[in-house]
Amino acid sequence: MAKYDYDLFVIGAGSGGVRAGRLAAMSGAKVALAEEHRVGGTCVIRGCVPKKFMVYASEFAHNAQIAEGYGWSPSQATFDWPRFLEAKDREIARLSGIYVTNLNNAGAEILHGKARLTDAHTIVVEGKQTITADKVLIATGGRPWKPTEFPGAEHIITSEEAFQLPELPKSIMIAGGGYIAVEFAGIFAGLGVETTLVYRGANILRGFDDDVRSHVTEEMKKRGVKVVLGCQHDSIEKTEAGGFISHMTSGHAIETELVMFATGRRPYVDGLGLETAGVKLNDVGAVAVDKFSKTNVENIWAVGDVTDRINLTPVAIREGAAFAQTEFYGNPTTFDHDMVASAVFSQPPVGSVGLSEADARHQHGKVDIYLSRFRPMKTTFYGGDERCLIKLVVEAGSERILGCHVVGPDSPEIIQMAAVALKMGVTKPQWDSTCAVHPTLAEELVTMREKYVPLGTAA
Which of 330, 335, 308, 264 minimizes the C-alpha distance to 138? 308
Q: Is the dihedral of CA 119, 123, 127, 130 positive or negative?
A: negative
Closer residue to ligand NDP (CB): 154 or 240: 154
| Smaller CB separation from ligand NDP, 328 or 345 | 345
Query: Rounded to whole angstroms, what are the CA distances from 115 to 38, 124, 190?
Result: 14, 6, 40
Q: How many angstroms separate the Cα of 322 from the Cα of each of 220, 319, 333, 340? A: 39, 5, 5, 16
CB-nearest residue to ligand NDP: 178
CB 182 → ligand NDP: shortest distance, Å? 8
Contact residues: ligand NDP, CB under 6 A: 147, 175-181, 183, 199-201, 206, 232, 262-265, 311-312, 342-345
* Torsion angle (degrees, nearest 10) of CA 233, 238, 242, 243: -20
User: Is 351 in contact with 165 (CB distance < 8 Å)?
Assistant: no
For residue 258, what are the contacts with CB-CB under 8 A and spacing of at least 6? 157, 165, 169, 171, 172, 173, 243, 244
Minimum gap (Å) between residue 42 Cβ and ligand NDP: 8
DSSP lists the bridge partners of residue 122 as 119, 132
CB-wise, 345 or 431, nearer to ligand NDP? 345
Query: What is the distance between the terminal CA atoms of the chain, rounded to a whole angstrom?
Result: 79
Catalytic site includes residue 62: no
C-alpha–C-alpha distance, residues 222 and 239, integer Å: 30
Q: How far apart are CA 214 and CA 350, in angstroms?
A: 12
Q: Between 21 and 178, whose beta carbon lies closer to ligand NDP?
A: 178
User: Smallest distance from the beta carbon of 229 to ligand NDP, in angstroms?
Assistant: 11
Give the nearer residue to ligand NDP in terms of CB position, either 122 or 346.
346
What are the φ and ψ backbone dihedral angles of 123, each rounded to 5 degrees?
A: -130, 135
Minimum CB distance to ligand NDP, residue 198 (Å): 8
- The smaller minimum CB distance to ligand NDP, of residues 199 and 370, is found at 199
Angle, vertex CA 178, rays to CA 180 and CA 99, nearest 5? 40
CB of 343 to ligand NDP, least distance (A): 5
**Smallest separation, CB 210 to ligand NDP (Å):** 13
- Of the pair 311, 379, the CB lying nearest ligand NDP is at 311
Residue 410 beta carbon to ligand NDP: minimum distance, rounded to whole angstroms: 15
Cα angle 213, 215, 216; round to 5: 70
- Contacts by residues 121-125 (CB-CB < 8 Å, ≥ 24 positions apart): 121/4, 121/299, 123/9, 123/11, 123/34, 125/34
* Rounded Cα–Cα distance for residues 129 and 331 (Å): 33
Phi, psi for 330 (deg, rounded to 5) = 60, 30
Among 402, 403, 420, 415, which residue's Cα sits nearest to residue 441? 415
Which residue, 141 or 325, is less far from ligand NDP as judged by CB? 141
Cβ of residue 32: shortest distance to ligand NDP, in angstroms? 28
The alpha-helical segments, DSSP class H, found in 127-266 are 159-162, 179-190, 210-222
- d(CA 432, CA 452) in angstroms, rounded, equals 16
DSSP 457: -
175 vs 289 by CB, closer to ligand NDP: 175
Query: Which of 323, 384, 393 has its CA nearest to residue 358?
Result: 393
Q: Which residue in 62, 364, 405, 438 is the catalytic one?
A: 438
Q: Minimal distance in Å, beta carbon 391 to ligand NDP?
A: 19
Sorted by sequence, the CB contacts under 8 Å of residue 439 that are 6+ apart come out as 377
List the catalytic residues.
438
